[in-house]
A = this chain, B = another copy of it.
């Protein structure tokens, strides 16, 4: 009976899994946004798309999906819902009939004003300082980087 055995047993405890803590934290934090984003009429993924467009627009689906680290197939129906909600426009680019120009409607642009309060509100609700947020942020970025250096390269398409 070695220590290794004990460690291995221990390693399978749910409470010790980083991946578990991470998924719970992600769902919990996103859940904490819900009441705040409800007032804007946005889900959390939709909020991220709007942040994306407030930074620069119009932009293509591929561009947005790269920025959000998600598949175009995920973004596509999401954009359709945002269009139905009246926040964005979807038009083909004149020069290139393949790509879509995703832009903001006046309501979509106006929503930004209300959204400026969100980050501060959330920091308050979570009881985090700006310092703590940026430290956690840095940890997450490191973790993301770690998943990209894995043995089986994601093979940049």
Identify the A interface with B (CB < 8 A): 8-9, 11-14, 16-33, 35, 44, 48, 51-52, 54-55, 67-69, 112, 115-116, 118-120, 122, 125-128, 133, 136-137, 139-141, 143-144, 146-152
Q: Name the contact of A33 in the complex, choosing from B19, B48, B120, B152 (C-beta under 8 A).
A: B19
**How many copies of this kind of chain does the complex include?**
2
Please, how many angstroms separate the alpha-carbon atoms of A140 and B136 in the complex?
Answer: 9
Please, how many angstroms separate the alpha-carbon atoms of A141 and B20 in the complex?
Answer: 10
Please list 14 pairs of residues, one from A and one from B, whose beta carbons are closer than 8 Å in the complex, sorted by A's number. Answer: A12-B115, A13-B51, A14-B68, A19-B30, A19-B44, A20-B51, A21-B137, A23-B26, A25-B26, A25-B144, A28-B69, A28-B143, A29-B147, A32-B147
Instruction: Tell whether, in the assembled complex, residue A150 and residue B119 are in contact, meaning their CB atoms are under 8 Å apart.
Output: no
A25, A35, A146: which has the most chain B beta carbons within 10 Å? A25
Instruction: Tell whether, in the assembled complex, residue A35 and residue B143 are in contact, meaning their CB atoms are under 8 Å apart.
Output: no
Shortest beta-carbon distance, A132 to chain B, in Å? 9
Shortest beta-carbon distance, A114 to chain B, in Å? 11
